[in-house]
Structure 1
Amino acid sequence: MPTHHHLALALCIATASLANAGEVSVAVAANFTAPMQEIAAAFEQATGHQAKVSYGSTGKLYAQIVHGGPYEVFLAADADRPEKLETEGIGVSGQRFTYAIGRLVLWSPEPDRVDPAGAVLATGDFRHLAIANPKTAPYGAAAMEVIAAKGLGATLEPRLVRGENISQTWQFVATGNAELGFVAASQLFKDGKPLGGSRWDVPTDLYTPIRQDAVLLKKGEANPAATALVDFLRSDAALGIIKSYGYATP
């Protein structure tokens, strides 16, 4: 039977480990919402630290960070903005790395709408094609590259509907406001199972690789929870989750 002394000791240890558990404020590109929710849960289980996550388009999150937003770690959907933050002295030098390589998919929830070669873009009878805003969302910029590579810019321009970020773009398609759209491969999973519908996995030679970089920000440099998250993103546990959502890893 445990003595009071043993109980008190156990309580002290538990309290000490809780006291060491911190919180990290993270800005995450919208395409990475589902994997990040899993990663945050696994991170908390492994370290006791909590990740407080805000999602949005890379461009908007970058603007918030530059204007003093409270974030300590930034997971972008491109490599440019984390690099800029490093150059501007807002990101910690040498603490930038590629955590995922995104894949672009043309998707429709309708089973026969999109053919496996993407010919629907040129021949299809559709009113709206959803893309993410190419100015702020790297997946939108990649979609525009594909449209240009196919020589369909002028034809498709009047049919484009632009989501503020890739999450909103997916919603346009999922709700039928656009019959099809360019989304992130990672969005076509629900509870670990692939979503139905029809899709064209866009060949990666039609767009600049969507290299998604993370960077530790100066605000998080002295926070053990922030440095622990950056380490955790490179762990086998995190990489396994990232791959399960259709991303490539470096």
Structure 2
Amino acid sequence: MFNKIRLSKLLFGLVMLGACALAAAETVHVAVAANFVEPLKNISEQFEKSTGHKVLITSGSTGKIYAQIKNGAPYDLFLAADAKTPAKLEQENAIVPKSRFTYAIGKLALWSAKPDYVDNRGDILKKQPFSHIAIASPKLAPYGLAAMQTLEKMGLDKTLQTKIVQGENIGQTHQFIASGNAELGFVALSQIYKDGKVKNGSAWIVDTRDYEPIRQDAVMLPKAKDNAAASALMKYLKSDPAHKVLQSYGYAY
């Protein structure tokens, strides 16, 4: 009888402990630039396992997400593709003070879904044996701006103007190329790179000196001030496990 009572108390205690842990778990809603969706999914999976919190992800162009935030979108965290937009939100007193930090430094790549199509120096841009080249909107997407800066440095921005097709964000731009609607285009390296190599097709990893550094900043939005999951994820983005994921997708930090 004594053992049964003791076992019952132990089971009750375990149930209560699990209930408390469940009650303490929260959900963090993250608005993330399209280039960082896959790395964030990977990081979120690890984060959820280690903390019990849940991550809800919404992606889009940095410019569009900024507009959504200004119009009251219920996001907790914003992981942008640049530093300029989060800094603007900070100047507008639209973030939790002192929450802004650089979570990743992105890299640009010229990519085609066709094997052996893009050479490793980008000379195909000078030869121009293609009808369409896809670029994300320079006004909305930092990777689109970096692409235009690269073309300007090469002296090709005007000669290629009639061949450029613009995606609203880097995700849509990648889709234009993957579907064959554009023979090649500029994408985030993270979209085509994993564990030290290009996953498919052919690519030229653009020299980082050819465009302004793509410093990607994260901020906590006022809605998340008392959200334990949001605070925990911001901290986790600075951890070694998160940094390993970044490196595997070609990011620096």
Moved more, 188-197 or 153-162: 188-197
Deviations 1:88-123 (A, max 9, x none): 111112111100000000011212211111111111
- Alignment partner, residue 240 of structure 1: 244
> Structure 1: how far apart are the matches of 2:153 and 2:63?
24
Q: CA deviation at 1:38?
A: 0.7
Deviations 1:117-145 (A, max 9, x none): 11111112100000001110000000000
Q: CA deviation at 1:66?
A: 1.0
Matched, 1:145 2:149: yes
> Structure 2: how far apart are the matches of 1:52 and 1:130?
29
- Alignment partner, residue 92 of structure 2: 88
Q: 2:178 aligns with which of 174, 178, 197?
A: 174
Q: CA deviation at 1:237?
A: 1.0
The one-letter code matched in structure 1 to 2:68 is Q
Deviations 1:131-177 (A, max 9, x none): 00111000000000001111111110000010111011011111110
Q: 1:135 aligns with which of 122, 132, 139?
A: 139
Secondary structure in structure 2 of the residue aligned to 1:51: strand
- Alignment partner, residue 218 of structure 1: 222
> Structure 2: how far apart are the matches of 1:134 and 1:246?
22
- Alignment partner, residue 115 of structure 2: 111
Q: What is the RMSD computed on CA atoms of the aligned residues?
A: 1.4
CA gap of 1:116–1:191, structure 2 versus 1, over 3 A, is closer
Q: Which runs of 5+ in 2 are unaligned?
A: none
Count of aligned positions? 249
> Structure 1: how far apart are the matches of 2:198 and 2:13?
48
> Structure 2: how far apart are the matches of 1:210 and 1:99?
11
Relative to the length of structure 1, the TM-score reads 0.96
> Structure 1: how far apart are the matches of 2:196 and 2:123?
29
Relative to the length of structure 2, the TM-score reads 0.95
* Higher Rg of the two aligned structures: 2
- Alignment partner, residue 37 of structure 2: 33
Q: CA deviation at 1:217?
A: 1.0
